[in-house]
């Protein structure tokens, strides 16, 4: 079941993000990776900026995706499914829900450029890699110069 996340979900989202990030640490430039990948303070800030949706399985969350309208676009942020629950269609269901909710013409998602699995996942859902990704990352995200350098952006036009 997909549902909007509540403040009381923050501990389980913290767990999901940091467990799922462990499995993809090989894609992250070593100078950008740390444990935990996202601190509780950072997650609390992100929670205020955007709406998280989660997939609930047997009364607990197994995956989450953040939805953040910014200026004239919408961003997908922090898409994570617990390693044991990956490749079962949970990410696809969350993504379809966020696509449905998107009111802007353009839906953007950023990822580490080495994360080819994530790029394949979004491509399967109609997203395409953007050439002017630095401009997009500077305009719509609030991330470091190093992360801009090592990330790509994909877009879905509605």
Ligand X SMILES: CC(C)(COP(=O)(O)OP(=O)(O)OC[C@H]1O[C@@H](n2cnc3c(N)ncnc32)[C@H](O)[C@@H]1OP(=O)(O)O)[C@@H](O)C(=O)NCCC(=O)NCCS
- Binding region for ligand X (CB under 6 A): 20, 23-24, 63, 79-81, 86-92, 109, 111, 115, 117-118, 120-121, 124
Cβ nearer to ligand X, comparing 107 with 109: 109
In this structure, the chain runs to a length of 158
Closest approach, Cβ 71 to ligand X, in A, equals: 20
Closest approach, Cβ 145 to ligand X, in A, equals: 19
Sign of the CA dihedral running 101, 108, 116, 14: negative
| 48 class by beta-carbon count within 10 Å (0-12 exposed, 13-18 middle, 19+ buried) | exposed
Cβ nearer to ligand X, comparing 54 with 91: 91
Distances (CA, A) of 112 to 72, 90, 103, 109, 148: 23, 21, 26, 11, 9
Phi, psi of 7 (to 5 degrees): -55, -35
Cβ nearer to ligand X, comparing 24 with 47: 24
Residue 18, Cβ neighbours under 10 Å: how many?
17
Residue 37, Cβ neighbours under 10 Å: how many?
18
Cβ nearer to ligand X, comparing 90 with 136: 90
Closest approach, Cβ 154 to ligand X, in A, equals: 9
Cβ nearer to ligand X, comparing 37 with 47: 37
Closest approach, Cβ 6 to ligand X, in A, equals: 21
Residue nearest to ligand X (CB): 91
Closest approach, Cβ 29 to ligand X, in A, equals: 15
Pick from 26, 12, 27, 6: nearest CA to 110:
27
């Amino acid at each position: 079941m997909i549902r909007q996340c509540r403040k009381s979900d923050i501990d389980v989202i913290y767990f999901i993000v940091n467990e799922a990030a462990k499995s993809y640490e090989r894609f992250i430039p070593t100078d950008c990776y740390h444990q935990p990948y996202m601190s509780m303070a950072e997650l609390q800030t992100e929670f205020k900026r955007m709406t998280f949706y989660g997939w609930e399985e047997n009364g607990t969350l197994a995956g989450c995706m953040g939805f953040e309208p910014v200026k004239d676009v919408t961003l997908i942020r922090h898409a994570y499914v617990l390693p044991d629950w990956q490749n079962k269609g949970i990410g696809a269901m969350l993504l379809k829900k966020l696509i449905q909710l998107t009111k802007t013409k353009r839906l953007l998602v950023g990822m580490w450029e080495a994360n080819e699995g994530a790029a394949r996942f979004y491509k399967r859902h109609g997203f395409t890699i953007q050439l002017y990704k630095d401009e997009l990352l500077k305009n719509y995200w609030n991330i470091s110069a190093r992360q801009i350098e090592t990330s790509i952006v994909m877009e879905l036009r509605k």
